[in-house]
């Protein structure tokens, strides 16, 4: 999916969630609300992964900082 379509779907899910909040509470609506929140979270995660710069992430993996832990200084 493209970024724009993901953003539109996230906005649609937010509108659906707001509409459900206006309805009287019931078990069916709470299940529907939970599924909508889950779908929205999945879409947000996809959007975040699309927005990440892949090239910079590969460079960071290659040139990882080698941090020393305190226990490294006390090895026998």
| pLDDT of res. 1 | 67
| Span 1-20, average pLDDT | 91
Distance CA(42)–CA(44), nearest Å, equals 5
pTM confidence score: 0.66
What is the torsional sign of CA 13, 19, 22, 27? negative
Domain boundaries, the chain: 3-73
| pLDDT of res. 52 | 79
Whether the pLDDT of residue 40 is over 80: the answer is yes
Tokens at 27, concatenated: 């078990």
Distance CA(74)–CA(9), nearest Å, equals 54
Whether the pLDDT of residue 34 is over 70: the answer is yes
11 Cβ contact list (under 8 Å, min separation 6): none
């Amino acid at each position: 999916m493209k970024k724009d379509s993901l953003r539109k779907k996230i906005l649609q899910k937010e509108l659906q969630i707001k509409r459900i909040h206006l309805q009287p509470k019931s078990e069916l609506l709470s299940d529907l609300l939970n599924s909508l929140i889950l779908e929205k979270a999945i879409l947000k995660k996809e959007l975040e992964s699309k927005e990440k710069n892949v090239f910079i992430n590969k460079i960071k993996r290659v040139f990882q900082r080698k941090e020393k832990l305190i226990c490294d200084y006390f090895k026998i």
